[in-house]
Structure 1
Protein backbone atom coordinates (compact mmCIF):
# COMPACT_ATOMS: atom_id res chain seq x y z
CA UNK A 1 0.00 0.00 0.00
CA UNK A 2 2.87 2.36 0.79
CA UNK A 3 4.47 1.90 -2.64
CA UNK A 4 1.11 2.27 -4.41
CA UNK A 5 0.64 5.54 -2.51
CA UNK A 6 3.81 6.94 -4.08
CA UNK A 7 3.90 5.59 -7.63
CA UNK A 8 1.25 5.22 -10.36
CA UNK A 9 0.24 2.12 -12.34
CA UNK A 10 -0.04 -0.07 -9.21
CA UNK A 11 3.71 -0.70 -9.26
CA UNK A 12 3.46 -1.50 -5.57
CA UNK A 13 1.91 -4.83 -6.57
CA UNK A 14 5.16 -5.75 -8.31
CA UNK A 15 6.99 -4.89 -5.10
CA UNK A 16 4.71 -7.31 -3.25
CA UNK A 17 5.86 -10.02 -5.65
CA UNK A 18 9.45 -9.03 -4.91
CA UNK A 19 8.84 -9.33 -1.15
CA UNK A 20 7.26 -12.75 -1.64
CA UNK A 21 10.39 -13.85 -3.47
CA UNK A 22 12.59 -12.63 -0.63
CA UNK A 23 10.51 -14.14 2.16
CA UNK A 24 9.52 -17.50 0.64
CA UNK A 25 12.09 -17.97 -2.14
CA UNK A 26 9.21 -18.10 -4.64
CA UNK A 27 9.45 -16.26 -7.95
CA UNK A 28 8.35 -12.66 -8.49
CA UNK A 29 6.07 -13.75 -11.33
CA UNK A 30 4.25 -16.17 -9.00
CA UNK A 31 3.71 -13.34 -6.54
CA UNK A 32 2.41 -11.04 -9.28
CA UNK A 33 0.01 -13.77 -10.43
CA UNK A 34 -1.30 -14.18 -6.89
CA UNK A 35 -1.75 -10.42 -6.51
CA UNK A 36 -3.51 -10.25 -9.90
CA UNK A 37 -6.13 -12.85 -8.98
CA UNK A 38 -6.54 -11.18 -5.59
CA UNK A 39 -7.27 -7.87 -7.35
CA UNK A 40 -9.94 -9.52 -9.48
CA UNK A 41 -11.75 -10.86 -6.39
CA UNK A 42 -11.38 -7.48 -4.70
CA UNK A 43 -12.94 -5.79 -7.70
CA UNK A 44 -15.85 -8.26 -7.75
CA UNK A 45 -16.53 -7.63 -4.05
CA UNK A 46 -16.18 -3.87 -4.49
CA UNK A 47 -18.56 -3.60 -7.45
CA UNK A 48 -21.14 -5.87 -5.80
CA UNK A 49 -21.07 -3.97 -2.51
CA UNK A 50 -21.05 -0.65 -4.39
CA UNK A 51 -24.27 -1.57 -6.20
CA UNK A 52 -25.96 -2.79 -3.00
CA UNK A 53 -24.99 0.31 -0.99
CA UNK A 54 -25.94 2.63 -3.88
CA UNK A 55 -29.36 1.01 -4.22
CA UNK A 56 -30.05 1.17 -0.47
CA UNK A 57 -28.79 4.77 -0.27
CA UNK A 58 -30.61 6.19 -3.31
CA UNK A 59 -33.37 3.58 -3.94
CA UNK A 60 -34.60 4.09 -7.51
CA UNK A 61 -32.83 7.45 -7.84
CA UNK A 62 -29.29 6.15 -8.29
CA UNK A 63 -27.39 8.86 -10.23
CA UNK A 64 -26.69 7.88 -13.81
CA UNK A 65 -22.97 8.56 -13.30
CA UNK A 66 -22.91 5.90 -10.57
CA UNK A 67 -24.76 3.38 -12.73
CA UNK A 68 -22.33 4.16 -15.55
CA UNK A 69 -19.37 3.48 -13.24
CA UNK A 70 -20.89 0.20 -12.04
CA UNK A 71 -21.53 -0.86 -15.63
CA UNK A 72 -17.92 -0.24 -16.59
CA UNK A 73 -16.78 -2.03 -13.45
CA UNK A 74 -18.72 -5.13 -14.53
CA UNK A 75 -17.25 -4.86 -18.04
CA UNK A 76 -13.72 -4.67 -16.59
CA UNK A 77 -14.38 -7.73 -14.41
CA UNK A 78 -15.66 -9.74 -17.39
CA UNK A 79 -12.66 -8.62 -19.45
CA UNK A 80 -10.23 -9.71 -16.71
CA UNK A 81 -11.95 -13.10 -16.37
CA UNK A 82 -11.75 -13.65 -20.15
CA UNK A 83 -8.11 -12.52 -20.06
CA UNK A 84 -7.27 -15.02 -17.31
CA UNK A 85 -8.93 -17.98 -19.05
CA UNK A 86 -7.41 -16.92 -22.37
CA UNK A 87 -3.94 -16.82 -20.82
CA UNK A 88 -4.39 -20.23 -19.18
CA UNK A 89 -5.51 -21.81 -22.48
CA UNK A 90 -2.76 -20.22 -24.58
CA UNK A 91 -0.03 -20.87 -22.01
CA UNK A 92 -0.93 -24.58 -21.90
CA UNK A 93 -0.52 -24.91 -25.67
CA UNK A 94 2.57 -22.87 -26.51
CA UNK A 95 6.08 -24.27 -26.30
CA UNK A 96 8.65 -21.52 -25.77
CA UNK A 97 12.33 -21.96 -26.52
CA UNK A 98 13.26 -19.20 -24.10
CA UNK A 99 13.43 -21.09 -20.81
CA UNK A 100 13.54 -17.96 -18.66
CA UNK A 101 10.37 -16.54 -20.25
CA UNK A 102 8.72 -19.95 -20.01
CA UNK A 103 9.54 -20.09 -16.29
CA UNK A 104 8.08 -16.61 -15.76
CA UNK A 105 4.82 -17.54 -17.51
CA UNK A 106 4.53 -20.87 -15.71
CA UNK A 107 5.06 -19.24 -12.32
CA UNK A 108 2.53 -16.52 -13.17
CA UNK A 109 0.04 -19.27 -14.04
CA UNK A 110 0.83 -20.99 -10.75
CA UNK A 111 0.03 -17.72 -8.97
CA UNK A 112 -3.30 -17.42 -10.79
CA UNK A 113 -4.20 -20.95 -9.71
CA UNK A 114 -3.26 -20.32 -6.08
CA UNK A 115 -6.94 -19.78 -5.23
CA UNK A 116 -8.67 -23.15 -4.79
CA UNK A 117 -12.41 -23.71 -5.29
CA UNK A 118 -12.93 -24.77 -1.68
CA UNK A 119 -11.43 -21.47 -0.45
CA UNK A 120 -13.66 -19.26 -2.64
CA UNK A 121 -16.49 -18.79 -0.08
CA UNK A 122 -14.01 -17.70 2.59
CA UNK A 123 -12.14 -15.43 0.16
CA UNK A 124 -15.34 -13.75 -1.03
CA UNK A 125 -16.58 -13.33 2.55
CA UNK A 126 -13.29 -11.76 3.62
CA UNK A 127 -13.32 -9.41 0.60
CA UNK A 128 -16.86 -8.22 1.36
CA UNK A 129 -16.06 -7.85 5.06
CA UNK A 130 -12.84 -5.97 4.36
CA UNK A 131 -14.48 -3.46 2.03
CA UNK A 132 -17.42 -2.95 4.40
CA UNK A 133 -15.11 -2.28 7.35
CA UNK A 134 -13.07 0.14 5.24
CA UNK A 135 -16.31 1.88 4.27
CA UNK A 136 -17.05 2.46 7.96
CA UNK A 137 -14.14 4.92 7.96
CA UNK A 138 -16.22 7.48 6.07
CA UNK A 139 -19.26 6.83 8.26
CA UNK A 140 -17.27 7.50 11.44
CA UNK A 141 -15.98 10.70 9.83
CA UNK A 142 -19.62 11.67 9.24
CA UNK A 143 -20.34 11.06 12.93
CA UNK A 144 -17.33 13.10 14.06
CA UNK A 145 -18.55 16.07 11.99
CA UNK A 146 -22.18 15.68 13.11
CA UNK A 147 -23.36 14.92 9.58
CA UNK A 148 -26.66 13.05 9.61
CA UNK A 149 -25.89 10.47 6.93
CA UNK A 150 -26.63 6.75 7.02
CA UNK A 151 -24.00 4.07 7.42
CA UNK A 152 -24.57 2.59 3.96
CA UNK A 153 -23.96 5.96 2.34
CA UNK A 154 -20.63 6.06 4.16
CA UNK A 155 -19.78 2.63 2.73
CA UNK A 156 -20.96 3.75 -0.70
CA UNK A 157 -18.86 6.95 -0.56
CA UNK A 158 -15.71 5.02 0.30
CA UNK A 159 -16.30 2.34 -2.35
CA UNK A 160 -17.16 4.80 -5.12
CA UNK A 161 -14.02 6.85 -4.49
CA UNK A 162 -11.84 3.75 -3.94
CA UNK A 163 -13.00 2.35 -7.28
CA UNK A 164 -11.04 5.13 -8.97
CA UNK A 165 -7.82 3.88 -7.36
CA UNK A 166 -8.25 0.73 -9.45
CA UNK A 167 -7.58 2.94 -12.49
CA UNK A 168 -3.82 3.45 -12.09
CA UNK A 169 -3.53 7.02 -13.40
CA UNK A 170 -2.02 8.62 -10.29
CA UNK A 171 -0.55 7.28 -7.03
CA UNK A 172 -3.45 6.10 -4.85
CA UNK A 173 -5.84 7.95 -7.16
CA UNK A 174 -4.64 11.39 -6.06
CA UNK A 175 -6.80 14.08 -7.60
CA UNK A 176 -9.53 11.86 -9.03
CA UNK A 177 -10.52 10.40 -5.65
CA UNK A 178 -10.82 13.87 -4.13
CA UNK A 179 -13.03 15.08 -6.97
CA UNK A 180 -15.20 11.95 -6.76
CA UNK A 181 -15.70 12.19 -3.00
CA UNK A 182 -16.74 15.86 -3.17
CA UNK A 183 -19.13 15.04 -6.02
CA UNK A 184 -20.68 12.13 -4.09
CA UNK A 185 -21.19 14.22 -0.95
CA UNK A 186 -22.91 16.91 -3.01
CA UNK A 187 -25.46 14.29 -4.05
CA UNK A 188 -26.67 14.38 -0.44
CA UNK A 189 -26.67 18.20 -0.41
CA UNK A 190 -23.61 18.49 1.84
CA UNK A 191 -22.19 22.02 1.55
CA UNK A 192 -18.62 22.53 0.37
CA UNK A 193 -17.26 23.28 3.85
CA UNK A 194 -18.64 19.99 5.18
CA UNK A 195 -17.52 18.08 2.10
CA UNK A 196 -13.96 19.42 2.32
CA UNK A 197 -13.84 18.61 6.04
CA UNK A 198 -14.80 15.00 5.23
CA UNK A 199 -12.23 14.91 2.44
CA UNK A 200 -9.38 16.19 4.62
CA UNK A 201 -10.07 13.68 7.41
CA UNK A 202 -10.57 10.86 4.91
CA UNK A 203 -7.25 11.51 3.18
CA UNK A 204 -5.42 11.90 6.50
CA UNK A 205 -6.59 8.40 7.39
CA UNK A 206 -6.53 6.66 4.01
CA UNK A 207 -3.43 8.27 2.47
CA UNK A 208 -1.13 10.28 4.72
CA UNK A 209 -1.20 7.75 7.57
CA UNK A 210 -0.19 5.04 5.08
CA UNK A 211 2.65 7.21 3.76
CA UNK A 212 3.88 7.99 7.28
CA UNK A 213 3.74 4.53 8.84
CA UNK A 214 4.48 2.85 5.51
CA UNK A 215 7.75 4.77 5.23
CA UNK A 216 8.81 3.48 8.63
CA UNK A 217 7.93 -0.12 7.75
CA UNK A 218 9.54 0.22 4.31
CA UNK A 219 12.81 1.28 5.93
CA UNK A 220 12.70 -1.67 8.34
CA UNK A 221 11.81 -4.21 5.62
CA UNK A 222 14.42 -2.96 3.16
CA UNK A 223 17.11 -2.94 5.83
CA UNK A 224 16.35 -6.59 6.59
CA UNK A 225 16.26 -7.50 2.88
CA UNK A 226 19.75 -6.08 2.33
CA UNK A 227 21.04 -8.56 4.90
CA UNK A 228 19.52 -11.55 3.09
CA UNK A 229 21.31 -13.52 0.33
CA UNK A 230 20.16 -12.98 -3.24
CA UNK A 231 18.51 -15.65 -5.38
CA UNK A 232 17.76 -15.86 -9.09
CA UNK A 233 14.22 -17.19 -9.34
CA UNK A 234 11.93 -15.28 -11.70
Structure 2
Protein backbone atom coordinates (compact mmCIF):
# COMPACT_ATOMS: atom_id res chain seq x y z
CA UNK A 1 0.00 0.00 0.00
CA UNK A 2 2.85 2.35 0.81
CA UNK A 3 4.29 1.74 -2.62
CA UNK A 4 0.90 2.48 -4.19
CA UNK A 5 0.50 5.75 -2.28
CA UNK A 6 3.98 6.81 -3.28
CA UNK A 7 3.13 6.09 -6.90
CA UNK A 8 -0.12 8.05 -6.65
CA UNK A 9 1.70 11.12 -5.40
CA UNK A 10 3.90 11.23 -8.48
CA UNK A 11 2.82 13.42 -11.41
CA UNK A 12 1.29 11.59 -14.35
CA UNK A 13 4.06 12.71 -16.68
CA UNK A 14 6.68 11.23 -14.38
CA UNK A 15 4.80 7.95 -14.12
CA UNK A 16 4.64 7.57 -17.88
CA UNK A 17 8.26 8.56 -18.43
CA UNK A 18 10.09 5.77 -20.29
CA UNK A 19 12.64 3.84 -18.27
CA UNK A 20 16.26 4.81 -18.85
CA UNK A 21 18.89 2.38 -17.63
CA UNK A 22 21.66 3.47 -15.31
CA UNK A 23 24.92 4.15 -17.25
CA UNK A 24 26.54 1.11 -15.65
CA UNK A 25 23.70 -1.08 -16.92
CA UNK A 26 24.06 0.47 -20.37
CA UNK A 27 27.76 -0.36 -20.34
CA UNK A 28 26.88 -3.92 -19.38
CA UNK A 29 24.46 -4.04 -22.30
CA UNK A 30 27.16 -2.81 -24.66
CA UNK A 31 29.47 -5.56 -23.43
CA UNK A 32 26.68 -8.08 -23.98
CA UNK A 33 26.18 -6.68 -27.46
CA UNK A 34 29.72 -7.68 -28.33
CA UNK A 35 29.52 -11.04 -26.56
CA UNK A 36 28.97 -13.03 -29.74
CA UNK A 37 31.77 -11.22 -31.56
CA UNK A 38 34.13 -11.71 -28.62
CA UNK A 39 33.13 -15.37 -28.46
CA UNK A 40 34.08 -15.88 -32.08
CA UNK A 41 37.36 -13.98 -31.74
CA UNK A 42 38.45 -15.34 -28.38
CA UNK A 43 37.45 -18.97 -28.85
CA UNK A 44 40.91 -19.51 -30.31
CA UNK A 45 42.90 -16.65 -28.80
CA UNK A 46 41.40 -15.56 -25.44
CA UNK A 47 42.98 -16.98 -22.29
CA UNK A 48 39.62 -17.43 -20.55
CA UNK A 49 38.23 -19.40 -23.45
CA UNK A 50 41.51 -21.32 -23.63
CA UNK A 51 41.14 -22.32 -19.97
CA UNK A 52 37.48 -23.27 -20.49
CA UNK A 53 38.64 -25.53 -23.34
CA UNK A 54 41.66 -27.03 -21.55
CA UNK A 55 39.59 -28.11 -18.51
CA UNK A 56 37.15 -30.37 -20.42
CA UNK A 57 39.84 -31.66 -22.77
CA UNK A 58 41.96 -32.66 -19.76
CA UNK A 59 38.95 -34.32 -18.11
CA UNK A 60 38.07 -36.25 -21.25
CA UNK A 61 41.71 -37.26 -21.81
CA UNK A 62 41.94 -38.57 -18.24
CA UNK A 63 38.72 -40.59 -18.32
CA UNK A 64 39.20 -41.80 -21.89
CA UNK A 65 42.79 -42.98 -21.51
CA UNK A 66 41.78 -46.65 -21.90
CA UNK A 67 39.12 -46.15 -24.57
CA UNK A 68 39.28 -48.08 -27.82
CA UNK A 69 38.56 -45.15 -30.14
CA UNK A 70 38.65 -47.37 -33.21
CA UNK A 71 35.50 -49.19 -32.10
CA UNK A 72 33.75 -45.94 -31.17
CA UNK A 73 34.56 -44.40 -34.55
CA UNK A 74 33.36 -47.56 -36.30
CA UNK A 75 30.05 -47.29 -34.43
CA UNK A 76 29.71 -43.66 -35.51
CA UNK A 77 30.44 -44.53 -39.13
CA UNK A 78 27.69 -47.14 -39.04
CA UNK A 79 25.03 -44.70 -37.82
CA UNK A 80 21.81 -44.41 -39.82
CA UNK A 81 21.69 -40.94 -41.45
CA UNK A 82 17.88 -40.91 -41.49
CA UNK A 83 17.73 -41.22 -37.72
CA UNK A 84 20.43 -38.56 -37.38
CA UNK A 85 18.28 -36.21 -39.48
CA UNK A 86 15.29 -37.11 -37.31
CA UNK A 87 17.32 -36.23 -34.19
CA UNK A 88 18.23 -32.88 -35.73
CA UNK A 89 14.61 -32.29 -36.74
CA UNK A 90 13.06 -32.87 -33.32
CA UNK A 91 15.83 -30.91 -31.62
CA UNK A 92 15.22 -27.85 -33.77
CA UNK A 93 11.48 -28.16 -33.24
CA UNK A 94 12.16 -27.27 -29.61
CA UNK A 95 13.40 -23.78 -30.52
CA UNK A 96 10.08 -22.41 -31.85
CA UNK A 97 8.43 -23.79 -28.70
CA UNK A 98 11.06 -22.06 -26.55
CA UNK A 99 10.50 -18.83 -28.47
CA UNK A 100 6.72 -18.99 -27.96
CA UNK A 101 7.25 -19.66 -24.25
CA UNK A 102 9.64 -16.73 -23.98
CA UNK A 103 7.14 -14.45 -25.71
CA UNK A 104 4.42 -15.60 -23.32
CA UNK A 105 6.59 -14.82 -20.30
CA UNK A 106 7.41 -11.36 -21.66
CA UNK A 107 3.70 -10.73 -22.22
CA UNK A 108 3.12 -10.88 -18.47
CA UNK A 109 5.14 -7.67 -18.25
CA UNK A 110 2.91 -5.99 -20.83
CA UNK A 111 5.16 -6.58 -23.85
CA UNK A 112 3.30 -8.19 -26.75
CA UNK A 113 5.96 -9.82 -28.90
CA UNK A 114 5.38 -12.80 -31.18
CA UNK A 115 7.43 -15.95 -30.79
CA UNK A 116 8.60 -15.79 -34.40
CA UNK A 117 10.18 -12.40 -33.67
CA UNK A 118 12.23 -13.95 -30.86
CA UNK A 119 13.32 -17.13 -32.65
CA UNK A 120 16.47 -15.75 -34.28
CA UNK A 121 17.44 -13.93 -31.08
CA UNK A 122 17.03 -17.19 -29.15
CA UNK A 123 19.22 -19.07 -31.64
CA UNK A 124 21.94 -16.43 -31.37
CA UNK A 125 21.86 -16.77 -27.59
CA UNK A 126 22.25 -20.54 -27.88
CA UNK A 127 25.12 -20.01 -30.33
CA UNK A 128 27.00 -17.88 -27.78
CA UNK A 129 26.30 -20.40 -24.99
CA UNK A 130 27.98 -23.08 -27.10
CA UNK A 131 31.11 -20.95 -27.49
CA UNK A 132 31.69 -19.37 -24.07
CA UNK A 133 31.10 -20.48 -20.47
CA UNK A 134 28.86 -18.95 -17.78
CA UNK A 135 25.71 -18.82 -19.96
CA UNK A 136 26.71 -15.45 -21.43
CA UNK A 137 24.37 -16.19 -24.32
CA UNK A 138 21.42 -15.55 -22.00
CA UNK A 139 22.74 -12.07 -21.25
CA UNK A 140 23.34 -11.51 -24.96
CA UNK A 141 19.80 -12.43 -26.01
CA UNK A 142 18.42 -10.25 -23.24
CA UNK A 143 20.41 -7.37 -24.69
CA UNK A 144 19.12 -8.09 -28.20
CA UNK A 145 15.53 -7.93 -26.94
CA UNK A 146 16.30 -4.60 -25.27
CA UNK A 147 17.90 -3.24 -28.43
CA UNK A 148 15.18 -4.37 -30.80
CA UNK A 149 12.02 -3.96 -28.72
CA UNK A 150 13.06 -1.32 -26.19
CA UNK A 151 12.35 -3.45 -23.12
CA UNK A 152 14.39 -2.77 -20.00
CA UNK A 153 17.46 -5.01 -19.82
CA UNK A 154 16.94 -5.67 -16.11
CA UNK A 155 13.34 -6.78 -16.70
CA UNK A 156 14.33 -8.96 -19.66
CA UNK A 157 17.09 -10.65 -17.66
CA UNK A 158 14.50 -11.35 -14.96
CA UNK A 159 12.27 -13.04 -17.53
CA UNK A 160 15.17 -15.17 -18.79
CA UNK A 161 15.92 -16.17 -15.19
CA UNK A 162 12.28 -17.25 -14.78
CA UNK A 163 12.53 -19.24 -18.03
CA UNK A 164 15.62 -21.05 -16.76
CA UNK A 165 13.92 -21.75 -13.44
CA UNK A 166 11.03 -23.44 -15.25
CA UNK A 167 13.51 -25.69 -17.05
CA UNK A 168 15.29 -26.55 -13.80
CA UNK A 169 12.02 -27.42 -12.04
CA UNK A 170 11.05 -29.80 -14.85
CA UNK A 171 14.54 -31.32 -15.08
CA UNK A 172 14.77 -32.00 -11.37
CA UNK A 173 11.22 -33.38 -11.25
CA UNK A 174 11.96 -35.76 -14.12
CA UNK A 175 15.30 -36.70 -12.57
CA UNK A 176 13.70 -37.74 -9.28
CA UNK A 177 10.62 -39.50 -10.66
CA UNK A 178 12.29 -41.14 -13.63
CA UNK A 179 15.40 -42.03 -11.62
CA UNK A 180 13.21 -44.06 -9.28
CA UNK A 181 11.56 -45.80 -12.25
CA UNK A 182 14.89 -46.47 -13.99
CA UNK A 183 16.88 -47.65 -10.95
CA UNK A 184 14.30 -48.57 -8.36
CA UNK A 185 15.78 -48.29 -4.88
CA UNK A 186 19.34 -49.05 -5.95
CA UNK A 187 20.84 -45.82 -7.27
CA UNK A 188 24.49 -45.80 -8.26
CA UNK A 189 26.51 -44.07 -5.51
CA UNK A 190 28.31 -41.83 -8.02
CA UNK A 191 24.95 -40.55 -9.29
CA UNK A 192 24.10 -39.13 -5.89
CA UNK A 193 25.94 -35.98 -6.94
CA UNK A 194 23.24 -35.37 -9.54
CA UNK A 195 20.50 -35.61 -6.92
CA UNK A 196 22.44 -33.50 -4.44
CA UNK A 197 23.09 -30.88 -7.13
CA UNK A 198 19.45 -30.87 -8.20
CA UNK A 199 18.16 -30.74 -4.63
CA UNK A 200 20.60 -27.96 -3.78
CA UNK A 201 19.51 -25.95 -6.80
CA UNK A 202 15.86 -26.49 -5.87
CA UNK A 203 16.37 -25.26 -2.31
CA UNK A 204 18.37 -22.23 -3.46
CA UNK A 205 15.73 -21.39 -6.06
CA UNK A 206 12.85 -21.60 -3.59
CA UNK A 207 14.71 -19.54 -0.99
CA UNK A 208 15.70 -17.02 -3.63
CA UNK A 209 12.14 -16.62 -4.88
CA UNK A 210 10.83 -16.25 -1.34
CA UNK A 211 13.46 -13.62 -0.56
CA UNK A 212 12.78 -11.82 -3.84
CA UNK A 213 9.07 -11.70 -3.10
CA UNK A 214 9.09 -10.93 0.63
CA UNK A 215 12.37 -9.20 1.38
CA UNK A 216 13.26 -7.54 -1.92
CA UNK A 217 11.18 -4.36 -1.48
CA UNK A 218 12.29 -3.94 2.15
CA UNK A 219 15.98 -4.30 1.36
CA UNK A 220 15.76 -2.11 -1.75
CA UNK A 221 14.78 0.98 0.25
CA UNK A 222 18.32 1.18 1.64
CA UNK A 223 19.77 1.68 -1.85
CA UNK A 224 19.80 4.68 -4.21
CA UNK A 225 16.72 5.36 -6.33
CA UNK A 226 18.11 4.00 -9.60
CA UNK A 227 19.24 0.78 -7.93
CA UNK A 228 15.72 0.40 -6.49
CA UNK A 229 14.28 0.94 -9.95
CA UNK A 230 16.54 -1.66 -11.56
CA UNK A 231 15.89 -4.22 -8.80
CA UNK A 232 12.14 -3.61 -9.07
CA UNK A 233 12.20 -4.27 -12.83
CA UNK A 234 14.25 -7.44 -12.33
CA UNK A 235 11.91 -8.60 -9.55
CA UNK A 236 8.86 -7.97 -11.72
CA UNK A 237 10.50 -9.77 -14.64
CA UNK A 238 11.01 -12.91 -12.53
CA UNK A 239 7.83 -12.97 -10.45
CA UNK A 240 5.35 -11.75 -13.07
CA UNK A 241 6.58 -14.44 -15.47
CA UNK A 242 5.15 -17.16 -13.22
CA UNK A 243 1.66 -15.85 -13.91
CA UNK A 244 2.07 -17.50 -17.30
CA UNK A 245 2.61 -20.92 -15.70
CA UNK A 246 -0.65 -22.45 -17.07
CA UNK A 247 0.72 -21.89 -20.58
CA UNK A 248 4.48 -21.88 -19.98
CA UNK A 249 4.36 -25.11 -17.94
CA UNK A 250 2.98 -27.33 -20.75
CA UNK A 251 5.30 -25.62 -23.24
CA UNK A 252 8.25 -26.50 -20.99
CA UNK A 253 7.16 -30.13 -20.89
CA UNK A 254 6.92 -30.08 -24.69
CA UNK A 255 10.46 -28.70 -24.91
CA UNK A 256 11.75 -31.59 -22.83
CA UNK A 257 9.76 -34.08 -24.87
CA UNK A 258 11.76 -32.92 -27.89
CA UNK A 259 15.01 -33.13 -25.91
CA UNK A 260 14.29 -36.74 -24.96
CA UNK A 261 13.16 -37.57 -28.51
CA UNK A 262 16.49 -36.28 -29.81
CA UNK A 263 18.41 -38.76 -27.65
CA UNK A 264 16.01 -41.54 -28.61
CA UNK A 265 16.72 -40.94 -32.31
CA UNK A 266 20.47 -40.77 -31.62
CA UNK A 267 20.30 -44.19 -29.98
CA UNK A 268 18.24 -45.52 -32.89
CA UNK A 269 20.77 -44.13 -35.37
CA UNK A 270 23.44 -46.27 -33.69
CA UNK A 271 21.21 -49.35 -33.56
CA UNK A 272 20.85 -49.19 -29.77
CA UNK A 273 17.78 -49.56 -27.60
CA UNK A 274 17.03 -48.47 -24.05
CA UNK A 275 13.72 -48.43 -22.15
CA UNK A 276 11.97 -45.02 -22.20
CA UNK A 277 12.69 -44.41 -18.50
CA UNK A 278 16.43 -44.80 -19.08
CA UNK A 279 16.39 -42.54 -22.15
CA UNK A 280 14.61 -39.83 -20.14
CA UNK A 281 17.07 -40.17 -17.26
CA UNK A 282 20.15 -39.82 -19.48
CA UNK A 283 18.64 -36.84 -21.32
CA UNK A 284 17.69 -34.85 -18.20
CA UNK A 285 20.84 -35.77 -16.24
CA UNK A 286 23.11 -34.58 -19.04
CA UNK A 287 21.04 -31.41 -19.46
CA UNK A 288 21.42 -30.63 -15.75
CA UNK A 289 25.20 -30.70 -16.17
CA UNK A 290 25.08 -28.11 -18.97
CA UNK A 291 24.49 -25.58 -16.17
CA UNK A 292 28.10 -26.05 -15.01
CA UNK A 293 29.51 -22.55 -15.67
CA UNK A 294 33.14 -23.59 -16.11
CA UNK A 295 32.87 -24.71 -19.73
CA UNK A 296 30.73 -23.88 -22.78
CA UNK A 297 27.53 -25.97 -22.75
CA UNK A 298 29.00 -28.13 -19.96
CA UNK A 299 31.59 -29.52 -22.39
CA UNK A 300 33.54 -32.33 -20.76
CA UNK A 301 31.23 -32.82 -17.79
CA UNK A 302 28.21 -33.81 -19.89
CA UNK A 303 30.07 -36.32 -22.06
CA UNK A 304 31.76 -38.03 -19.10
CA UNK A 305 28.50 -38.27 -17.15
CA UNK A 306 26.60 -39.58 -20.16
CA UNK A 307 29.15 -42.33 -20.84
CA UNK A 308 29.25 -43.27 -17.15
CA UNK A 309 25.47 -43.57 -16.82
CA UNK A 310 25.11 -45.49 -20.07
CA UNK A 311 27.85 -48.00 -19.20
CA UNK A 312 27.73 -48.43 -15.42
CA UNK A 313 24.04 -47.70 -14.99
CA UNK A 314 22.45 -49.23 -18.07
CA UNK A 315 25.02 -51.76 -19.32
CA UNK A 316 25.99 -50.35 -22.72
CA UNK A 317 29.40 -51.21 -24.12
CA UNK A 318 31.92 -48.42 -23.66
CA UNK A 319 32.43 -47.81 -27.39
CA UNK A 320 28.65 -47.59 -27.91
CA UNK A 321 28.24 -45.16 -25.02
CA UNK A 322 31.02 -42.94 -26.40
CA UNK A 323 29.40 -43.00 -29.83
CA UNK A 324 26.08 -41.92 -28.25
CA UNK A 325 27.74 -39.04 -26.39
CA UNK A 326 29.65 -37.82 -29.45
CA UNK A 327 26.67 -38.03 -31.81
CA UNK A 328 24.25 -36.46 -29.35
CA UNK A 329 26.57 -33.53 -28.70
CA UNK A 330 27.18 -33.13 -32.43
CA UNK A 331 23.43 -32.68 -32.84
CA UNK A 332 22.85 -30.45 -29.80
CA UNK A 333 26.05 -28.35 -29.78
CA UNK A 334 28.05 -28.54 -33.00
CA UNK A 335 24.98 -28.07 -35.20
CA UNK A 336 23.99 -25.01 -33.15
CA UNK A 337 27.46 -23.53 -33.72
CA UNK A 338 27.01 -24.05 -37.48
CA UNK A 339 23.43 -22.74 -37.66
CA UNK A 340 24.10 -19.96 -35.17
CA UNK A 341 27.25 -18.97 -37.05
CA UNK A 342 25.22 -18.50 -40.22
CA UNK A 343 22.64 -16.41 -38.33
CA UNK A 344 25.42 -14.39 -36.73
CA UNK A 345 27.00 -13.54 -40.09
CA UNK A 346 23.59 -12.59 -41.50
CA UNK A 347 22.76 -10.43 -38.49
CA UNK A 348 26.11 -8.63 -38.75
CA UNK A 349 25.46 -8.01 -42.43
CA UNK A 350 21.95 -6.69 -41.78
CA UNK A 351 23.32 -4.42 -39.03
CA UNK A 352 25.79 -2.91 -41.49
CA UNK A 353 22.98 -2.03 -43.89
CA UNK A 354 20.75 -0.71 -41.12
CA UNK A 355 18.66 -3.79 -40.35
CA UNK A 356 17.68 -5.13 -36.95
CA UNK A 357 19.24 -8.02 -35.09
> Is the structural similarity TM-score above 0.5?
yes
Measured against aligned partners, the alpha-carbon deviations of 1:208-228 in whole angstroms (never above 9, x if no partner) come to 000110111123334445636
User: Alignment partner of 1:179: what SS?
Assistant: helix
* Structure 1 residues 147 and 130: CA distance shift in structure 2, 3 A: same
Among 61, 78, 81, the alignment partner of 2:206 is: 81
State the partner residue of 2:267. 142
Q: Determine the C-alpha separation between the residues in 2 that align with 1:92 and 1:192.
A: 54
User: Alignment partner of 2:245: what SS?
Assistant: helix
Among 127, 136, 145, the alignment partner of 1:2 is: 127
- Cα distance, 1:140 vs. partner? 1.3
**Residue segments in structure 1 that go unaligned for 5+ positions in a row:** 230-234
- Cα distance, 1:121 vs. partner? 2.8
**Larger radius of gyration between Structure 1 and Structure 2:** 2
- Is residue 57–residue 152 contact of structure 1 (8 Å, CA) maintained in 2? yes
Q: Determine the C-alpha separation between the residues in 2 that align with 1:145 and 1:212.
A: 23
* Structure 1 residues 219 and 110: CA distance shift in structure 2, 3 A: farther
State the partner residue of 2:308. 183
The reply on whether 1:202 has 2:342 as its aligned counterpart is: no
Among 165, 187, 203, the alignment partner of 1:62 is: 187
State the partner residue of 2:241. 115
Among 117, 128, 145, the alignment partner of 2:253 is: 128
Q: Determine the C-alpha separation between the residues in 2 that align with 1:181 and 1:149.
A: 14
User: Alignment partner of 1:219: what SS?
Assistant: helix
Among 159, 165, 169, the alignment partner of 1:44 is: 169
- Cα distance, 1:158 vs. partner? 1.4
- Cα distance, 1:51 vs. partner? 2.0
Q: Determine the C-alpha separation between the residues in 2 that align with 1:59 and 1:128.
A: 23
**Residue segments in structure 2 that go unaligned for 5+ positions in a row:** 1-125
Measured against aligned partners, the alpha-carbon deviations of 1:24-44 in whole angstroms (never above 9, x if no partner) come to 101111111001111111100
State the partner residue of 2:145. 20
- Cα distance, 1:181 vs. partner? 0.7
Q: Determine the C-alpha separation between the residues in 2 that align with 1:101 and 1:215.
A: 36
- Is residue 303–residue 326 contact of structure 2 (8 Å, CA) maintained in 1? no
State the partner residue of 1:163. 288
- Cα distance, 1:97 vs. partner? 5.9
* Structure 1 residues 92 and 51: CA distance shift in structure 2, 3 A: same
Q: What is the number of equivalent residue pairs in this alignment?
A: 228
Q: Please, what TM-score do these two structures have when normalized by structure 2? A: 0.60
Measured against aligned partners, the alpha-carbon deviations of 1:108-155 in whole angstroms (never above 9, x if no partner) come to 1121133243x3232222212211220121111111212131222122
Report which stretch shifted further, 51-60 or 30-39: 51-60
Q: Determine the C-alpha separation between the residues in 1 that align with 2:196 and 2:186.
A: 16
Q: Please, what TM-score do these two structures have when normalized by structure 1? A: 0.88
- Is residue 278–residue 314 contact of structure 2 (8 Å, CA) maintained in 1? no
State the partner residue of 1:218. 344
- Is residue 170–residue 253 contact of structure 2 (8 Å, CA) maintained in 1? yes
